[in-house]
Structure 1
Amino acid sequence: MAENLDTEQIKDWRSIITLIIFVLTNIVVLFPFHIPFYIPRWLHNAVLDGLAALRIIRRREIPPKNNGKPSLLVRLNLPLNFVTAPLIADLFLLAILAIGRQEVHDGTVGADGISPIDILVFFLTLAYIAISIDASGLIRYLAFKVLQKGDGVGHRLFFYLYTFFFALGSFIGNDPIILSGTAFLAYMTRVSSNIVHPRAWIHSQFAVANIASAILVSSNPTNLVLAGAFNIKFLVYTVNMIVPVVVTAIVVFPFLLYIIFADESLIPRKPGANPPVNPNIPHARGGAEEEEEEGVNEENGTLLSLEEIMNPFLDKGGAAFGAIIMAATLITILAINAASNSGHDRPVFWVTLPAAFVMLCWDLGTGWIHRHETRRIAAVGRQQHEAVKAEREHRKSLRNSPEQNAQENIENRQPRTTDFFSKSLKITSQPDAIKITMDTRPSRDCDETSLPAPILGEKEPFPEVQSPSSVSKASGELDVTTQLEKAQSYVTNGIDSERRAGRGQEDSNQPTTLVSLCENAYVWLQETFPTVTVVLSHLPFPLVPFALAMFVLVQALVTKGWVPVFAYGWDHWVEKTGTVGAVGGMGFLSAILCNFAGTNIGTTILLSRVVQAWQEIHNVSGIPISDRTFWATVYSMALGVNFGAFSTAFSASLAGLLWRDILARKYIRVGSIEFARVNLPIIAIAMAVGCTVLIGEVYIMRKETPYDA
């Protein structure tokens, strides 16, 4: 690696272009956008017609002539985001010969202890097991049990949920916590009247999930990169990280509760019940699902959310089997890794890949065994889904009629008690059931003096949550018997006649195409193997092209002399500041660069190469790095790249992008400025505490003897 320490090559124009491309790529990852480009309409139509003639896609719709003459050009959009930008950057550098075969090989197959393909296979296979456990409903169910333990006390519930997310995130990583925990909190806060904004709950959950992911190597791909780059055994990594992380979690909690989110309106109470339904089955919630998605009936949507919190679906067999597989996998990995000489004699995915395959077989087997039940539920739900859509369209068509407007005016003059009250739910544990009561009080938007006297202060039992079937019957739709008959016809014949009839005359004349076959196959897979399809849809597959492309980009910086330049700068900093400066400097750099260097994964790749170059500088000079300073640098980097996920930008981690998207689907919009403003004090406290504890740890456990790789 000595030849890579030559910094003179940064004067070459290709080296300058490589650095510029790296910076621009990370800016695009931080601020994704689309590039519009135009093609002739005749070419666009010719391509579509050719694909339709080959039965790949459906025939295109020809607009009627009275709509005017269409433009001569068709606009298409090229997305530039965290997937496409690094790929385009690599292709550009290849085109100008700034990188070649060696950089591509080292950035994908691996070099200097970092094996990208091994890391990605390990992470994806372990993620399958974790997300399968999540799909079984275990996390939602456990969160519900934690909700019961809160027993109406906001601060106690906040503590229980904080502890729960930290404990679970330590073992299965942050992604499953974000997948289920975020939706759970969104529902819980929406149905609690005394939560003005869910800010305290969702930001605390996101922060603690990423704090917890720093404990185990398997919990975050950044930890895998670090362990591979510096030959760290998994158990040794955990031993060095567990104290700073746990102390950070303990200290951060009171700051969150009593300083950052001290407003009482942010720390409130919670929600309550209907027969549980497997949310992995498409249209399992029937017509009520359609109303929730469209926002037509806000009260019904609230009750639906409440139902998912108070009576969550739990696949006991899948949850138990998944937990056993996950525990056995982690124990086996730690045992084999600890027994090896270097900690990396065999790729760790040799353990996780068979375990994920066993979990996949279980999910396929249970899906096939229960296929008749899941298909029936999906078919009934689809009938109700379409019935609600048809009813809504019918209401829209009548809305402009004079009679309908007159009727609506009359109804609007009538007092609606549901508009005057906000609901506060109280949950108490009983041996066999949950007791739910609801206090009805005038809402903040209502004038109490305008209400009838008997209504004020009135208490009534929690209204029964209507099932999808009862909702449909109340709306005058198909009754349950008819729906069941049609569902049975669908299950036995394998054809959803209602869906086919609902396409319209034009669609029914369309020939069978490859796209339609794929759509039907996907629907069949959803209804036959709901867990497998949901888990595969949630796996972070975009991580693969992103990580591999970022590895190649960083390898280009290595060969073009930029990483040695950064390493010399880091060496000068450590010489002047010592071990304390190494911890503070690397902690600050790693946390900040997560926002500007291609998420925390890109930051870990870049800084690992810098530290490796720093090692080589001292190997060449003959002046060794002290054991204390070296490991202080490495473990402060581990803190920074994990904690940096909750800093100033969503793109600081892929988990942040996932978190934002889940909240958006639950009608909770978190802006970029709000994300940075809320997280800045949290990341400042977390990094200050973590780095302080780490400094004390390395001074106790490490000595000033030379570091020996």
Structure 2
Amino acid sequence: MAENLGDIDIDLNTDIIREWHSIVTLIAFVLTNIIVLFPFHIPIPFPRSFKNGILNGLCKLRVIGPREGRPQNESGAITVPGEEQQDEGGYWVKLRFPMNFITAPLIADLFLLAIQAIGRAEVYGGTIGANNISPIDIMAFFITLAYIAISIDASGLIRYLAFKVLQKGGRYGHRLFFYLYAFFFSLGTFIGNDPIILSGTAFLAYMTRVSSNIVHPRAWIFAQFAVANIASAILVSSNPTNLVLAGAFDIRFIYYTANMIVPVVVTAIVLFPFLLYIVFADESLIPLSIQMHELSEEARARTPVNPNIPNARGNAEEEENDPANGEQAQLLSLEEIMNPFLDKGGAGFGALIMAATLITLLALNAASQTSNEHPVFYVTLPAAFVMFCWDIAFGWLHRKETRKIARDGRREVERARAERQARLEEMERAALNENRESEPLSDTAPNQPPTDSTDHTTQGRSNDDNGIDIHPGLPNANMENENRTGPTADVTASSNDNEIQDARPSTSAKSTLYEKQEPAREDSFKPLDTVVGGTNCGASFERQVDAEKQSHCSVTVHERKKATLVSLLADSYRWSQETFPTATAVAGHLPYALVPFAFSMFVLVQALVTKGWVPVFAYGWDHWVEKTGTVGSIGGMGFLSVLLCNFAGTNIGTTILLSRVIQAWQKIHEANGIPISDRTFWAAVYSMALGVNYGAFSTAFSASLAGLLWRDILARKHIHVKRADFARVNLPIITIAMVVGCTVLIGEVYIMRPTTPYEK
């Protein structure tokens, strides 16, 4: 039975598309890809009593603990203050359910199963495999190989090598741009695009921040993203799309690389001058001479710490994100790139394991009768296990050192937060004392609002005129609360800063203070002399605040003694970070989301096959090739693959769909008795390989999972790239890359491929 399910024959009968099951299947596929392109949240109303009952039940079972500083409503349930203000007294609360690249394909599959549009055969073909495409083998191979690649990245090797490239490039902008371009291409060829994006993107964000005359990071980050995805087209192991394609058409790994290396290398060579002199020809983007801030001798002599250890940098990260620090934040960023951490043992062992794995894969694949004779994860799974054992053993042997670093860093953070809280309290006391001293003058002097000449509207954010928002620090409200001093300091500081929020007076203390005033909103900044009356308010206020803090602290300590499931998991995770920093960091960066997404998309495409839509697309493709020949086959498939990356469930979904279309195209010619020429067939296949790799840097972040990862990393570094600007900047890059790659491929197939009939 398994063999029958695994060898689903493609039915070329297109009459089935008139049935309602087929129509609904196509609609579900289209809607799913629209949602992947434009994710959103669905507000689902729930009765408040139902939510409170669940929370109370979880508290009773000690799954979660009481939330500190959260008031209880009449039923005793713990609620969020902001939520209470938003819909206080309402019967319903809203749950925001995400509709994205994970949930949408899964819901579509479940819906089609519920209406019996698909069945066991489609699910089996989309998970176990059908027609030479084995999703479960592909996912096992990619996850295990990704562990080795990300472990190399976690050792600090990529950032250290980038630092060496930065040193070699010196202060010459064009030279440094070339060196980084060549470095990312060379490294991405062997370990894939994800590790390059994980570490290289953060490196460039830091580098452009500490360079005083690089106004915008656009040229550096877009070039890095493009070249990483171009390089991933060379080896089958570098991208899951290559695995799908090689499995679908039984391509040996060595043959795939032999056919792809020339178009890809020529693309990278030709693209560079276009990027440097046409696309990013601006001194503010790539200056001729880069002015980099100097790192002090003390910072150079300091031993770099492992960033995988929690709080390894102590309070440095918080200071770096604090806009009030200014120059200090730049120095901390400079230290991050000019004094990088490198685990020499982990980097060397990881590089050895990766090289041995790739060589073994190529050798076994070349020696096998077919490319699918032995699942490729038979090689990568043992290699990943050896790498995992190394990370665990290395972490355990150095556990005392890493735990001490984490403990010292945590104490430094707590001490810095305590000092910040003390400064805030001192500001509040000074404001109250100054207000008390000026109180006798209030009978004769007219009431005038205090003035603040400081303009805070332009601090916290600078906007790139091309749509890239660069945020050097925290939001504006936090900056105001940090910078306010004297009589204009506000005790109702922004609730966005947790540390400042903890330092504010408790709710009951403020209610006593403002018992004759209207409740202040969170976003209001009223001077104290408008809400405080009487000369004895300052002393009574301070005494009440101290009493409230002592009471709150005693309750908090008592509550924290009660362990909950959540607290135990949090403690276990922190222990794992401190004891096995590399293994924990790698496990946290593995592309788990790829697994449910890929399986769900495989099932959806398999549904299109069995419901007659893939044969319809194959007939259309056949008519196009008959009219345009080999050149049209390359151009048409290249255009389709790039376009569908943005509208057919990322480049993985596009590869699955187009592979099925080409398989159906083969069946059409077999049924007609008219064979496809070897030149035309392989022209279409390798043109698709170019398109699905290059399509990652086209018009939408969701064209690839790497694009979503790249966007999120930049956002964490306060660089926000808008959708429209992502498409606008990438449009000339993808145009040049595809024109060059397809042109070289045309020459290659005309030289290397005969016009004899294609044979499997």
TM-score w.r.t. structure 2 length? Answer: 0.79
Asked if 1:6 is matched to 2:13, the reply is yes
What is the letter of the counterpart of residue 174 of structure 2? H
Q: 1:2 touches 1:616 (CA, 8 Å); kept in 2?
A: no
Aligned AA for 2:220?
W
How is 1:430-445 mapped onto 2 (pairs within 5 angstroms)? none
Which residue is 2:702 aligned to? 651
Give the superposition deviation at 1:301: 2.1
Deviation at 1:506, TM superposition (A): 3.6
CA displacement at 1:389 relative to structure 2: 2.1
Q: Is 1:63 the equivalent of 2:82?
A: no
Instruction: Specify which of 388, 392, 395 is matched with residue 420 of structure 2.
Output: 392
For 1:509, which of 536, 540, 558 is the aligned residue?
Answer: 558
Query: Does the residue aligned with 2:278 lie in a helix, a strand or coil?
Result: helix
Aligned match for 2:354, one of 319, 326, 334: 326
> 1:75 pairs with 94, 115, 118, which one?
94
Post-superposition offset of 1:72: 1.6
CA offsets 1:530-562 (integer angstroms, 9 cap, x no match):
001110111000000000000000000000000
Kindly indicate whether the alpha-carbon contact (under 8 Å) linking 1:2 and 1:620 is maintained by their aligned counterparts in 2: no
Q: Which residue of 2 aligns with 1:249?
A: 268
Letter in 1 for 2:401: E
Tell whether 2:83 aligns with 1:32: no
Distance 1:221 1:138 in 2: 23
Query: Corresponding residue for 1:441?
Result: none
Structure 1 residue 294: deviation in Å? 4.6
In 2: Cα distance, 1:530 partner to 1:172 partner: 21
5 Å-filtered alignment, 1:129-140, equals: 129-140=148-159
Residue deviations 1:281-332, cap 9 Å, x none? 0000101222224544232221111001101000000000000000000000
Which digits, 9 at most, give the CA deviation of each residue in 1:369-404, with x for residues without a partner?
A: 000000000011111112222223333344456569
Residues 192 and 671 of structure 1: CA distance in aligned 2, closer, same or farther (over 3 Å)? same
Residue aligning to 1:355: 383
| Cα displacement (A) at 1:662 | 0.4
C-alpha spacing 1:636/1:412, structure 2 compared with 1 (3 Å): same
Residue in 2 that maps onto 1:229? 248
Deviation per residue, 1:6-25 (Å, 9 max, x gap): 11010011111110110110
Match of residue 603 from structure 1: 654
Instruction: String of CA shifts for 1:405-433, please: whole Å, max 9, x gaps.
Output: 99xx9x999xxxxxxxxxxxxxxxxxxxx
Residue 45 of structure 1, CA deviation: 1.1
Asked whether the 8 Å contact 2:10–2:667 carries over to 1, the reply is: no
Mapping for residues 169-318 of structure 1, pairs under 5 Å = 169-268=188-287, 269=290, 270=292, 272=295, 273=300, 274-318=302-346
| Alignment of structure 1 residues 253-652 onto 2, 5 Å | 253-268=272-287, 269=290, 270=292, 272=295, 273=300, 274-399=302-427, 504-510=553-559, 511-652=562-703
State the distance in 1 between where 2:634 and 2:430 align: 73
Change (3 A) 1:557 1:113: same
1:144 and 1:309 in contact (8 A); partners too: yes
Larger C-alpha radius of gyration, 1 or 2? 2
Return the letter of the residue paired with 1:50: G
Report if aligned partners of 2:204, 2:220 keep a CA contact under 8 Å in 1: yes
Shift of 1:54: 1.7
Query: Which letter maps to 1:292?
Result: E
Structure 1 residues 578, 46: closer, same or farther in 2, change over 3 A? Answer: same
- Displacement after TM superposition at 1:62 (Å): 4.1
Measured in 2, the distance between the counterparts of 1:639 and 1:175 equals 18
What are the Cα deviations for residues 139-163 of structure 1, in whole angstroms up to 9, with x where unaligned? Answer: 0000000001112111100000000
Q: Structure 2: how far apart are the matches of 1:6 and 1:244?
A: 37
Residue 194 of structure 1 aligns to a residue in which SS?
Answer: coil
Q: Distance in 2 between matches of 1:503 and 1:662?
A: 37
Say if 1:543 and 1:405 are closer, same or farther in 2 by CA, change over 3 A. Answer: farther
Structure 2 equivalent of residue 697 of structure 1: 748
CA contact (8 A) 2:322 2:329 kept: no
Helix, strand or coil at the partner of 1:704: coil
Which stretches of structure 1, 4 residues or longer, exceed 6 Å deviation after superposition? 64-68
List per-residue Cα deviations over 1:443-463 (Å, max 9, x = no partner). Answer: xxxxxxxxxxxxxxxxxxxxx
SS of equivalent to 2:96: strand
SS in 2 for 1:669: strand
Would the aligned equivalents of 1:290 and 1:388 in 2 still touch at CA under 8 Å? no
- Name the SS of the counterpart of 2:719 in structure 1: coil
Query: 3-state SS of the aligned residue for 2:44?
Result: strand
Partners of 1:289 and 1:385 within 8 A in 2: no
Answer whether contact 1:124 1:540 (CA < 8 A) is retained.
Answer: yes
Q: What secondary structure, in the 3-state scheme, does the structure 2 residue paired with 1:587 have?
A: helix
Q: Secondary structure at the match of 2:97?
A: strand
2: CA distance, partners of 1:608 / 1:504: 63
Which of 100, 104, 109 is matched with 1:85 structurally? 104
Cα deviations by residue, 1:175-198 (Å, 9 ceiling, x for unpaired): 000000000000000000110100
Aligned length: 621
Partner of 1:38: helix, strand, or coil?
strand
Asked if structure 2 preserves the Cα contact closer than 8 Å seen for 1:290 and 1:389, the reply is no
SS at match of 2:284: helix
Q: What SS class does the counterpart of residue 11 from structure 2 fall into?
A: helix
Relative to structure 1, the CA distance from residue 637 to residue 523 in structure 2 (aligned partners, 3 Å threshold; closer, same or farther) is same
Structure 2 gap ranges (5+): 1-7, 75-80, 435-449, 455-549
Distance 1:357 1:669 in 2: 37
Per-residue deviation, residues 477-532 of structure 1 (Å, max 9, x unmatched): xxxxxxxxxxxxxxxxxxxxxxxx99943433332111111110000000000001
Q: Deviation at 1:43? A: 1.0
> Within 2, Cα distance between the matches of 1:612 and 1:504?
68
1:99 aligns with 2:118: yes
Q: Quick one: distance in 2 between partners of 1:573 and 1:502?
A: 78
**How far, CA to CA, are the matches of 2:180 and 2:238 in structure 1?**
19
| Paired letter, 2:556 | D
Q: 1:401 to 1:502 in 2, by over 3 A?
A: closer
Is 1:45 matched with 2:52? yes
Superposed CA RMSD in Å reads 2.2
2: distance between equivalents of 1:388 and 1:184? 27
Q: Distance in 1 between matches of 2:692 and 2:236?
A: 13
2: CA distance, partners of 1:652 / 1:348: 26
Cα 1:514–1:341 shift into 2, 3 Å: same
